A and B are shown apart, each in its own frame.
Chain A
């Protein structure tokens, strides 16, 4: 069974500083995908970034980058230049083997990021 671990329940960061959100995973499948989602208090899950297991380079999307260390099975999200609007819950997720032609996402417990002015 695949598993996602986010051990930091909460973090605080000063505005404009960089922050790293930790995520480790466990899978025996050689082909997998890792995702990060942001969930503000409004409830919507917002896709941030994706990393495939065969991707040679770390994924980047604007201020978001993924520090992918395959041997350590970690996929940490780095947010550069934090903004007040970054305050939210952050979930790391992994794609499970497709069933019936459909993909499942397994989510970690999430962690709450608070950006202070």
Chain B
């Protein structure tokens, strides 16, 4: 099984809403990632979890709050977002060391109104 799943596929939320994005993998990977991708741009790294601990936070605003409840699950909690946060949010996973490729999920297309 080389699949990373993400739910929901699409999400529309108001600026005062609280929502969560979910990501799951069953490949035994111990590194998981959140990326943000705007249209016609490359993915931008937001967070990295290694062995369920946050190891990289790329100075992401606090309205984005990641959580890694176990080695298979990764959440991104959203609160008080801005319209400019509308983007494709991609989750990925990989082995921790040695140039292993990252496997990406299909993404969640988020629209903030």
Q: List residues of A whose CB falls within 8 A of some B CB.
A: 33, 35, 37, 42-47, 50, 52, 91, 95, 98-105, 107-110
For A104, the chain B residues whose CB sits under 8 A away are: 45, 48, 56
B1 on interface, CB distance cutoff 8 Å: no
Name the CB-closest residue of B to A110.
B42
On whether the beta carbons of A105 and B102 are closer than 8 Å, the reply is yes
Contact of A52 among B43, B99, B106 (CB under 8 A): B99
Say what secondary structure dominates the interface of chain A.
strand
Q: Quick one: which of B49, B50, B99, B102 has the most chain A CB within 10 A?
A: B99
Contact of B109 among A43, A95, A99 (CB under 8 A): A43
On whether the beta carbons of A102 and B50 are closer than 8 Å, the reply is yes
Q: How many residues of B contact A (CB 8 A)?
A: 28
Given contacts A102-B48, A107-B42, contact A43 B107 (CB under 8 A): yes
Contact of B106 among A33, A43, A102 (CB under 8 A): A43
For A95, the chain B residues whose CB sits under 8 A away are: 99
Docked CA distance A47–B106 (Å): 13
On whether the beta carbons of B96 and A45 are closer than 8 Å, the reply is no
B31 on interface, CB distance cutoff 8 Å: yes
On whether the beta carbons of A44 and B106 are closer than 8 Å, the reply is yes
For A103, the chain B residues whose CB sits under 8 A away are: 31, 94, 96-97, 99-100
For B42, the chain A residues whose CB sits under 8 A away are: 91, 107-110
